[in-house]
Amino acid sequence: MTTAIKAMLDTHPAGLGGVDREKLARCIEECLACAQTCTACADACLSEEMVARLARCIRTDMDCTDICRTTAAVLSRRTAYDADVTRALLRACAAACRACADECAAHAATHDHCRICAEVCRRCELVCEDLLTSLG
Amino acid sequence: MTTAIKAMLDTHPAGLGGVDREKLARCIEECLACAQTCTACADACLSEEMVARLARCIRTDMDCTDICRTTAAVLSRRTAYDADVTRALLRACAAACRACADECAAHAATHDHCRICAEVCRRCELVCEDLLTSLG
Amino acid sequence: MTTAIKAMLDTHPAGLGGVDREKLARCIEECLACAQTCTACADACLSEEMVARLARCIRTDMDCTDICRTTAAVLSRRTAYDADVTRALLRACAAACRACADECAAHAATHDHCRICAEVCRRCELVCEDLLTSLG
Amino acid sequence: MTTAIKAMLDTHPAGLGGVDREKLARCIEECLACAQTCTACADACLSEEMVARLARCIRTDMDCTDICRTTAAVLSRRTAYDADVTRALLRACAAACRACADECAAHAATHDHCRICAEVCRRCELVCEDLLTSLG
């Protein structure tokens, strides 16, 4: 999907306003992957027999889905770029990914979907922080 | 809609974790109203003859819709409350509402939909900041 | 919220393209209320001790939230109205509300949040079907 | 991203309820790619000088984003699979992709982002119809 994301960034008439193209495309992609994986993990948890022990996991998955989805959309828009909104949202996204990575990691040994989800969330957290740092 | 939001908060088995019920319900409602108004304002701008001068307005409307929608959903969840994620998201939401209120206010004299949208965004910004302060 | 929805419809430069203003505003409002209530019901179910018996309920709540949210947004846009997309989406929304109303109704005696959610979903289903009929 | 989507489907305790794994994973991926591309195309259109002639394009892009995002999420959930809701939503998604592909195709010679978006929407339309047929 990175190719498609970069193709759309490259054809945007407004340009990237000084934002690093590689880091931006990477962050959009990781946010989309994280939203998708968290949706799937929440639903997989729901089908586990021990679902009662996974309530916190499902909740953080749902928050992470909503926030990553929104972050990917806001980052994809380059018209009238607003650094304040972007930075505040990236901070919220990194916080949601961190919470979800921590929670899913606690179930990684028992559930493969939580193990995969923990990895994807951790990667997304780091990529959000990396983009944030590069924005200055 | 406030009645419905409070009814759902009151029937939640987890309780509100010390969060102020009135401020929380108010914030959820304003976020939903703001998301709806921004969706409608973006589309109304699109149908204006002078749409080229409203590009920034449409963009901030779209961001504000996405962020307010997500904030309303995260605030509505009370299972395993996470203060860090909530606070970071409320800050992003207040920033998006501020940007959108400022931009729509600049077109308030020309377009009634921007005038209404500026008011709704400003109110949502203040309510998010009020809830943020009360969370400590 | 109906007042705010109607105010935005009335200030839209494109007009309503022959769609009934009362039914349209009503449908947007019920979809927003239903999305909100389903988000809250899914999360309340998650905090119930008997959550394992509520897995189907949580899943239909999550679908209903996503579909109602999308339907409210699409209906709020009046630029370049597309009757085919609108009708197909209203049918999907009525189907999701019906499934969620049926499932929540089965838990209405045990959980107040499911009882309220069943009522809101049923109302939204009927309002979607009513708007669909009026579109011809 | 297909690998990640399949990995999550494969670790889901509920199984796929007889739905074709390849077609399902493909459809989730195309819906996510289409939502992303439409978000980017709407915003790129907004930055074009001739934005007034792209109003219909931006509107169909926004609808297509919302509907594809929702379809990807609903398809990713396998707990308590509901064929009626799935089918109705796939029909709405195919209709939205068709409308957006047709509209973007009309601007493909002038704007590269519309050309790419038309291709992605057409592919998503076909993949939704293919999954729909396989569901019977």
* pLDDT tens per residue, range C90-105: 999 999 999 999 999 9
Asked if D52 and B52 count as a contact pair (C-beta separation under 8 A), the reply is: yes
Chosen from B67, B75, B98, B129 to mutate, greatest number of chain A CBs within 10 A: B67
Asked if C75 contacts C28 with a C-beta cutoff of 8 angstroms, the reply is: yes
Cβ pair B60:A66 closer than 8 A = no
Q: Is the pLDDT of residue B136 over 90?
A: no
Nearest to A51 among C42, C51, C62 (CB): C51
Among candidate residues D97, D90, D92, the one with its CA nearest the CA of residue D129: D90
Tell me the per-residue pLDDT of B53-73, one tens digit each, with 9 for 90 and over: 999 999 999 999 999 999 999
Interface of A with D (CB under 8 A): 1, 4-5, 7-9, 11-14, 28-29, 32-33, 36-37, 39-41, 43-44, 46-48, 65, 69, 72-73, 76-79, 111-113, 116-117, 120
pLDDT single digits (tens) D118-127: 999 999 999 9
Closest-approach residue (CA) in chain D for A76: D40
Q: Is the pLDDT of residue A105 over 90?
A: yes
DSSP string across A6-54: HHHHHT-TT--TT--HHHHHHHHHHHHHHHHHHHHHHHHHHTSTTGGGG
What's the start-to-end Cα distance of chain B, in Å?
A: 27
Query: Does residue C127 have a pLDDT over 90?
Result: yes
Q: Which residue of B has its CA nearest to A68?
A: B70
Give the distance, in angstroms, between the CA of residue A36 and the centroid of all CA atoms in the same chain. Answer: 9
Instruction: Give contacts of C38 with chain A, Cβ < 8 Å.
Output: none
Q: Which residues of B touch C (CB under 8 A)?
A: 1, 4-5, 7-9, 11-14, 28-29, 32-33, 36-37, 39-41, 43-44, 46-48, 65, 69, 72-73, 76-79, 111-113, 116-117, 120
d(CA D38, CA D57): 10
Tokens of B42: 């973006």
Whether residue A6 contacts residue A21, with contact meaning beta carbons closer than 8 Å, is answered with yes
Distance from B61 to chain D by nearest Cα, in Å? 12
- Both tokens of C39, joined, read 């988000």
Q: Which of C80, C82, C92 lies at the smallest CB-CB distance from D85?
A: C92
> Using CA atoms, how far apart are residues A1 and D61, in angstroms rounded to an integer?
19
Subunits close to A (at least 3 CB pairs below 8 A)? B, C, D
C70-79 confidence digits (pLDDT tens): 999 999 999 9
State the DSSP code for B51: G
For Cα atoms A91, A96, A97, give the angle at the middle one, nearest 5 degrees. Answer: 100
Question: Percent of chain A at pLDDT above 70?
Answer: 100
Q: Is the dihedral of CA C29, A65, A90, A33 positive or negative?
A: negative
* Whole-number average pLDDT of chain B: 97
Of residues D123, D126, D131, the one with CA closest to residue D22: D131
Domains of chain A plus CATH, in order, are: 2-7+20-135 (1.20.1270.360)
List residues of chain A with CB under 8 Å from any CB of chain C. 42-43, 46-47, 49, 51-52, 55, 58-59, 62
Q: Could you give the CA distance from residue A24 to residue D46 in angstroms, rounded to a whole number?
A: 20
Q: DSSP class of residue C12?
A: -
- The answer for residues whose C-beta is within 8 angstroms of residue A34's C-beta and 6 or more apart is A64, A68, A97, A120, A121, A123, A124
A58: tokens are 């499902």
Tokens (6 digits) for B28: 């959820």
pLDDT of residue A17: 86
Average pLDDT, integer, range A107-133: 98
- Residue A27 banded pLDDT, cuts 50, 70, 90: very high
The Cα–Cα gap between D78 and D94 comes to 21
Residues 6+ apart with CB under 8 A from D86: D74, D75, D135
C-alpha A41/C-alpha A118 separation (Å) is 10
Burial category of C109 from C-beta neighbours within 10 Å (exposed 0-12, middle 13-18, buried 19 and up): exposed
Q: How far apart are the first and last CA of chain A?
A: 27
Find chains touching chain D: ≥3 CB pairs under 8 Å: A, B, C
- Residues A36, C120, B29, A38, Cα dihedral to 10°: -10
**Which range, of B17-21, B75-79, C113-117, D104-108, averages the lowest pLDDT?**
B17-21
- Check CB contact under 8 Å for D95 and C77: no
